[in-house]
């Protein structure tokens, strides 16, 4: 969720205007009064990719055909403007009944009372399909603010021919390399004109804090109701390993530091970089943009003490002001049944949260194009402390990102990085 995905570049700006207009024009409050005719629900969707859009719209159409007494109106939203759009609609009492967003962004709306507590509205079956750690990402002050349904794990995309040439074997989907093995193999894949790895670290904070869970690095600690930033050995492990790859082993390209994931693709396709650590959704660019004959593989998440990563799933919520919460929950159950959740994940190149949906997705795709690795990676995604910290967005923007950029540019030491992160926390977490 942790999200620098390519969708933001691809989404049409006009969509935001259409979505806002649609929200303002469609009925009042949470839907029509239950007098005569069917119950009417509005569903704000942030789907934007062609296949994902089609799946979303098809599922709504199918629901409407099968449930004449509960009709759902599909309203198109836009990731770039949805926060302000929702804030305006919540404050104005004109929010959609069903809201598509992400776990890291719905907490503030939940705490302000804008989102219904779903704990008593969704079935035990749906609850059981999703791991508790993933449910925790969408739970605030004991209230379930949304159903998490799509996940974005961090994997490694590799040039298969370069791996074969260096004698580096591809690990199985359920058995990723350790960090030591990853660094050793990156060294084997490095030679004149070729780096083993390209770390795209233009926006490094989410990446580092996600991977820090590999070594139980938390950064945010809460004692007695007070939260503070601490940087010990566990928090330093991932930054130090990446820094060592760039400046000591020289197996990672220094020029990639200022790049986004998309920026590294030409070099990857050209054989300049053998491996790209990045989002599981990066597989879509491989399928759509890789030159003819280019062989790529998806490698499982790298392991430290564990393979744990922070989960920031996409979510579906119900507005507290909706007059038809029960019917909205019925739609969520249908929309997120295992078959439908698998189709939604496939359309967005992400990982479904549901265990059965994961199994169906692997079956449908036969595990090709890295779907086996993607599905297996879901088991290690969980809530991270920084996701529950109210001051995280400000700390990330003002302190963590500049400090990490300086460290990866070799302008400050690891200890100085730690000091800046802690001092920034003192400024924000008061």
Only one residue has tokens 């806002």, namely 20
* DSSP β-bridge partners for residue 309: 381
Q: What is the 8-class DSSP label of residue 381?
A: E
SS3 call for 147: strand
Query: What is the structure's pLDDT at 21?
Result: 43
Whole-number Å distance between alpha carbons of 72 and 88 = 22
Question: What is the CA angle 246-251-257, rounded to 5?
Answer: 40
Q: Are residues 142 and 45 in the same domain?
A: yes
Query: What is the structure's pLDDT at 387?
Result: 83
Whole-number Å distance between alpha carbons of 278 and 144 = 29
Query: What is the structure's pLDDT at 333?
Result: 97
Query: What is the structure's pLDDT at 32?
Result: 41
For the domain that residue 357 is a member of, what is the CATH number? 3.40.190.10
Q: Are residues 137 and 238 in the same domain?
A: no
Q: Are residues 247 and 332 in the same domain?
A: no
Whole-number Å distance between alpha carbons of 176 and 303 = 7
Last residue in a domain, options 377, 397, 413: 377
Whole-number Å distance between alpha carbons of 55 and 265 = 28
Cα distances (Å, whole numbers) of residue 352 to 145, 149, 345: 18, 6, 5
- Size of the chain in residues: 430
Query: What is the structure's pLDDT at 262?
Result: 87
Query: What is the structure's pLDDT at 35?
Result: 54
Q: What is the pLDDT of residues 61-90, one digit of tens each?
A: 999 999 999 999 999 999 888 988 999 999
Crossing angle of helices 401-408/204-211, nearest 10°? Answer: 80
Element of type H or E holding 75: strand 70-76
Number of domains in the chain: 2
State the residue range of the domain holding 407: 154-310+384-426
Question: What is the CA angle 126-311-211, rounded to 5?
Answer: 150
Q: Which segments in the chain show pLDDT lower than 70? A: 1-35, 430
Query: What is the structure's pLDDT at 179?
Result: 98
Tell me if 10 is assigned to some domain.
no
Tell me if 2 is assigned to some domain.
no
Contact between 17 and 168 (Cβ < 8 Å): no
Q: Are residues 163 and 299 in the same domain?
A: yes
Number of Cβ atoms within 10 Å of the Cβ of 255? 13
Q: What is the 8-class DSSP label of residue 162?
A: H
Q: Are residues 335 and 254 in the same domain?
A: no
Q: Are residues 315 and 290 in the same domain?
A: no
Q: Are residues 88 and 189 in the same domain?
A: no
Q: Are residues 271 and 201 in the same domain?
A: yes
Contact between 377 and 300 (Cβ < 8 Å): yes
Q: Are residues 132 and 181 in the same domain?
A: no
Tell me if 34 is assigned to some domain.
no
- DSSP, residue by residue, 256-292: GGG--TGGGHHHHHTTSEEEEEEETTHHHHHHHHSPT
Nearest alpha carbon to residue 100 among 9, 19, 4: 19
Query: What is the structure's pLDDT at 174?
Result: 84
Q: Are residues 147 and 69 in the same domain?
A: yes
Only one residue has tokens 């490694």, namely 156
CA R_g for the chain? 22
- DSSP, residue by residue, 215-254: GT--SEEEETTEEEE---HHHHHHHHHHHHHHHTS--B-G
Whole-number Å distance between alpha carbons of 317 and 336 = 12
Query: What is the structure's pLDDT at 413?
Result: 98
Strands 195-197 and 273-279: parallel
Q: Are residues 49 and 176 in the same domain?
A: no
Q: Are residues 258 and 393 in the same domain?
A: yes
Phi, psi of 129 (to 5 degrees): -75, -20
Cα distances (Å, whole numbers) of residue 102 to 12, 31, 151, 152, 289: 19, 23, 10, 11, 27
Contact between 107 and 142 (Cβ < 8 Å): no
Crossing angle of helices 233-247/179-188, nearest 10°? Answer: 10
Query: What is the structure's pLDDT at 208?
Result: 95
Tell me if 129 is assigned to some domain.
yes
């Amino acid at each position: 969720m942790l999200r620098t995905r390519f969708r933001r570049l691809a989404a049409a700006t006009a969509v935001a205007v259409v979505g806002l207009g649609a929200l303002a024009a469609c009925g009042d409050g949470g839907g029509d009064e239950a007098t005569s005719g069917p119950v009417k629900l509005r569903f704000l969707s942030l789907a934007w990719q062609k296949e994902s859009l089609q799946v979303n719209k098809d599922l709504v159409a199918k629901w409407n055909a099968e449930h004449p007494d509960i009709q759902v109106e599909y309203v198109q939203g836009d990731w770039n403007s949805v926060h302000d759009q929702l804030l305006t609609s919540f404050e104005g009492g004109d929010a959609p009944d069903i809201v598509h967003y992400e776990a890291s962004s719905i907490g503030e709306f939940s705490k302000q009372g804008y989102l219904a507590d779903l704990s008593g509205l969704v079935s035990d079956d749906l609850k059981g399909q999703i791991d508790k750690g993933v449910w925790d990402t969408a739970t605030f002050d004991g209230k379930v603010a949304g159903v998490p349904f799509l996940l974005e794990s961090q994997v490694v995309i590799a040039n298969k021919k370069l791996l074969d040439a260096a004698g580096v074997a591809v690990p199985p989907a359920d058995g990723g390399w350790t960090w030591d093995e990853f660094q050793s193999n990156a060294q084997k894949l490095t030679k004149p004109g070729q780096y083993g790895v390209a770390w795209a670290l233009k926006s490094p904070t989410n990446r580092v804090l996600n991977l820090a869970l590999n070594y139980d690095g938390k950064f945010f600690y809460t004692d007695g109701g007070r939260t503070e930033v601490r940087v010990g050995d566990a928090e330093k492990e991932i930054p130090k390993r990446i820094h060592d790859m760039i400046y000591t082993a020289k197996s990672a390209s220094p020029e990639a530091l200022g790049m986004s994931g998309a920026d590294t693709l030409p070099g990857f396709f050209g054989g300049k970089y053998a491996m790209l650590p990045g989002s599981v959704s990066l597989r879509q660019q491989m399928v759509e943009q890789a030159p003819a004959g280019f062989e790529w593989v998806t490698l499982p998440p790298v392991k430290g003490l564990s393979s744990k990563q922070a989960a920031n799933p996409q979510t579906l919520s119900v507005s507290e002001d909706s007059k038809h919460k029960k019917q909205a929950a019925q739609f969520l159950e249908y929309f997120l049944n295992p078959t439908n959740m698998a189709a939604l994940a496939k359309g967005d190149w992400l990982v479904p949260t549901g265990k059965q949906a994961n199994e169906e997705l692997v079956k449908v795709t036969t595990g090709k194009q890295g779907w086996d690795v993607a599905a297996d990676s879901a088991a290690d995604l969980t809530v991270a402390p920084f996701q529950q910290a109210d001051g995280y967005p400000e700390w990330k923007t003002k302190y963590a990102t500049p400090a990490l950029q300086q460290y990866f540019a070799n302008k400050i030491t690891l200890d100085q990085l730690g000091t800046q992160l802690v001092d920034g926390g003192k400024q924000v977490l008061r």
